[in-house]
Homo-oligomer: A and B are copies of this chain.
Amino acid sequence: MSRPCNDCKVRDQSLCSSLSDEELSSLNSIGHNRKLERGQTLLWAGDEAALCANLLEGVLKLSATLPDGREQIVGLLYPADFVGRPFSEQAEHTVTALTDAELCVFPRKPFEEALEEHSRMERLLLRRTLAALDEARNRMLMLGRKTAEEKVASFLLDMALHLGKPESRPGTPVTFDLPLTRAQMADVLGLTIETVSRQMTRLKRAGLIDLPSGRLVTILDRDALEERAEAA
C-alpha cells in the first residue's frame, strides 16, 4: 500500500472527503501514487479507459481533436479534482499534464465497485459531475459567442480564481504563473496563438494586466477586466 492518506494533500477536498477513515483505508488498498511529468499523457481518447484518479498536485488538460489535428482543450483539472470516466469502456478525451503532476490512481473497475459500495462518495461524484457539466456548458457560451478579447479576459480571470493567492483584498493586484503556453491558451479559447498574443499585449497596453516575465501574469484592474470579459 502506498503512502497513508493522512498525509494526503487533498484529503478533505477530493472525493475521498466523503469517506470515513476506515472506508478510506479500504479504498487506499486499490489505489497508488503516480507522478506525471509536464507533457505526459495519462489517457488517450479512444483507448480503453483503464483508470480513474484524484489529482493531488499540478494541472491537467482534457482535450479533443479532429482527424486533421485541430485541437480543443475541453477542460482543465486542478488539485482535488477527479480524473477519468467511470462506467465507460473507452476514454472520450485525452488527459495530459500541463505541469508536473501527482495523482492517486485507481484501476477503473475496482473503483466503480468502490463507488457502489460507498454511496456518499457516489453522491459526491454525482454532484461534482453536475457541476462540471454546468461549467462545460458555460464554456460553450464563451466558445460560441465571445470575441477574442472577451475570451482572453475571461480566461485570465478564471486562472486568477484557480491560481491566485486565496482572497487578497479586492482591488489588490493578483499575480500568478500560467501553466499554459500561448498555444495551449489558444486551444482552450478556440483561437490561434497569434490572436491570443495580440489580445494579451492589448490588455497590457490598456493597463489592465502586466506581463512581467515568462508566463507570469498580474491582474492590475480586475473590474475592467471583468467588463471586457462580457461586454457589459
Contacts and interface: CB of A to CB of B under 8 A. Distances in A.
Contacts of A122: 119, 122-123, 126
A127 interface: yes
Interface in A107-144: 116, 119, 122-123, 125-127, 129-130, 132-134, 136-141, 143-144
A67 B231 contact: yes
Given A136-B136, A139-B140, A68 B189 contact: no
A190 B74 contact: no
A159 B7 CA distance: 50
A182 interface: no
Interface of A: 62, 64-68, 70-72, 74-75, 85-88, 92-93, 116, 119, 122-123, 125-127, 129-130, 132-134, 136-141, 143-146, 187, 189-190, 230-232
A-B pairs, top 3 by smallest CB distance, nearest first, are A144-B190, A74-B137, A143-B143
18 contacts: A64-B141, A66-B141, A66-B145, A66-B231, A67-B232, A71-B145, A72-B140, A72-B141, A72-B145, A85-B134, A86-B130, A87-B127, A87-B130, A92-B137, A126-B126, A132-B133, A133-B133, A140-B140
